[in-house]
Amino acid sequence: MSEESIAPNVSRKLVAVVPGDDAAPEAVSASMSVLEAMDLPLEFDLLPPGSELAEMPETERENFVNERLDAADTVLFGSTNGTTPGIQHLRWGHKTYANVRPIRWRPGFRSPMANPEGLDYVIVRENLEDSYVGIMGDVDALRSSGLIGPRARIAWEGEGRFAAKIITRQGTEKVARFAFELAGKRAAKSGRSPRLTVSAKTNMLPATDRYFCDIVEEIGSDYPEVRLERFIVDDMAHRLVTRYDELDVLLLPNLYGDVLSDLGAGTVGGLGLAPSGCYGDSSAYFESAHGTAPDIVGQDRINPTATLLSAVMMLDHLGLDQAATRLDRAISEVYSIGRTLTVDQGGTATTDEFATAVRNLLN
Ligand code: ATP
């Protein structure tokens, strides 16, 4: 039993566990079997899966879930296809502005790269702004706005739609500080010098993307010890495949962060391996980077690694460092032994068999 689990004065934190939709509840249930075996100083509030929540009227369902999320100290969230509500509330309601997506290869991960050993960086994705602000409409609404430049005038004939991309100084400064701090923490652990890379489409989108990168550079003057590099985002996509060993913390606006983190997950071995945590000033939640994997629902073959590694991030966030290390090690060991891997990793193990292997290696 770890010191953390027996310390008498540690108050028990409440973790809301949201199973989510399609195949996500299978990954969450397997992950919970591991967490429950760890004798953690935590209480888990397990919400119903999306298939049960769907029986409630929409507003009632949303209030029901949001109240449980608000009552918890943190949240482990299975992916949603929209049936399970709560993500919007956790993200915009709780202002979790920094989405952290570690991209780290471990021996046994089925990477398509020839030399995956140097793959160990973290994407920090701005989580609230950019094209995700939900400002969309018919282009006719823009015609009288005075915002229409020559390129748009040439391209536009007939009907069309637009979606706005919003980058604010305040939002960018916050996520930039978060990323610089993270670069410092990672350097303190690894012994390497701190490094931050920022990327966006600065050449084509000066109003938003160059603005984002310029603000990050300004904030960088408060962190002179961190080496800051800046690349255009198409070059960045190429670098994620060819020069990933030069990365440590990569800061991106929302949409590029969403897309490039799936690319990064592909380089380590697939979506089933990619965890994620979303952090605000007073709230955080944790979920795999993948979606609900609807094509494999009910087959007991979803890989729960991404959910388990998200739980590792959650334990770290809750200050349960020893427990986080213990779980992280057990997961790594299952891969380095390589006998109980799920189908996406070239094995034949079911979701539950994988979780059992992790449980058996907790020490
Ligand atoms: P979303 O739009 O929510 O991202 P999606 O269906 O586009 O959903 P995913 O759910 O991430 O994307 O699935 C993409 C592919 O990756 C699917 O074939 C799915 O089965 C596979 N996949 C995703 N997560 C896992 C996992 N944990 N284990 C095994 N396969 C997975």
**Nearest atom, ligand 1, residue 288 CA:** 27
- Closest to 289 (Cα-Cα) out of 317, 266, 321: 266
What pLDDT, on the 0 to 100 scale, is given for residue 3? 47
What pLDDT, on the 0 to 100 scale, is given for residue 154? 63
Ligand 1 atom 25: residue of nearest CA? 272
Residues with CB under 6 A from ligand 1: 27, 79, 271-272, 290-296, 302-303, 306, 344
Q: Decide if pLDDT at 9 tops 80.
A: no
- Work out the average pLDDT over 290-305: 97
Average pLDDT, the chain: 95
What one-letter code names the amino acid at 139? V
The rounded Å distance from CA 259 to ligand 1 centre is: 14
What share of the chain in percent tops pLDDT 70? 96
- Tell me which of 101, 255, 271, 342 to substitute to probe ligand 1's pocket, judged by most ligand atoms within 8 Å of the beta carbon: 271
User: Do 1-103+271-363 and 111-130+165-268 agree at the fold level?
Assistant: yes
Kind and range of the H or E element at 257?
helix 254-268
What pLDDT, on the 0 to 100 scale, is given for residue 10? 56
Q: Backbone phi, then psi, for 323, in 5-degree steps?
A: -65, -40
Domain boundaries, the chain: 1-103+271-363, 111-130+165-268, 134-164
CATH topology of domain 111-130+165-268: Isopropylmalate Dehydrogenase (3.40.718)
- Work out the average pLDDT over 67-78: 98
Per-residue confidence at 4, pLDDT binned at 50, 70, 90? low
What pLDDT, on the 0 to 100 scale, is given for residue 363? 80
The rounded Å distance from CA 272 to ligand 1 centre is: 8
Per-residue confidence at 7, pLDDT binned at 50, 70, 90? low
What pLDDT, on the 0 to 100 scale, is given for residue 146? 78
- Work out the average pLDDT over 137-157: 78
Task: Report the CATH number of the 1-103+271-363 domain.
Answer: 3.40.718.10
Per-residue confidence at 123, pLDDT binned at 50, 70, 90? very high
Q: Decide if pLDDT at 314 tops 50.
A: yes
What pLDDT, on the 0 to 100 scale, is given for residue 118? 92
- Work out the average pLDDT over 304-311: 98
* Cα 126 to Cα 170: distance, rounded to the nearest angstrom: 12
- Work out the average pLDDT over 272-285: 98
Ligand 1 atom 3: residue of nearest CA? 291
Q: At what angle do helices 305-317 and 24-36 cross, to 10 degrees?
A: 50
- Contact between 186 and 225 under an 8 Å Cβ cutoff? The reply is no
Q: Decide if pLDDT at 1 tops 50.
A: no
pLDDT in tens, 183-204: 999 999 999 999 999 999 999 9
What share of the chain in percent tops pLDDT 90? 90
The rounded Å distance from CA 2 to ligand 1 centre is: 35
- pTM score over 0.85: yes
**Nearest atom, ligand 1, residue 306 CA:** 27
The rounded Å distance from CA 296 to ligand 1 centre is: 9
The rounded Å distance from CA 68 to ligand 1 centre is: 27
What pLDDT, on the 0 to 100 scale, is given for residue 6? 46
Residue 348 token pair = 């034949």
Q: Which of 107-116, 134-143, 263-272 has the lowest mean pLDDT?
A: 134-143
**Nearest atom, ligand 1, residue 289 CA:** 11
Q: Backbone phi, then psi, for 74, in 5-degree steps?
A: -160, 175
Q: Backbone phi, then psi, for 284, in 5-degree steps?
A: -155, 150
The rounded Å distance from CA 254 to ligand 1 centre is: 20
- Contact between 231 and 224 under an 8 Å Cβ cutoff? The reply is no
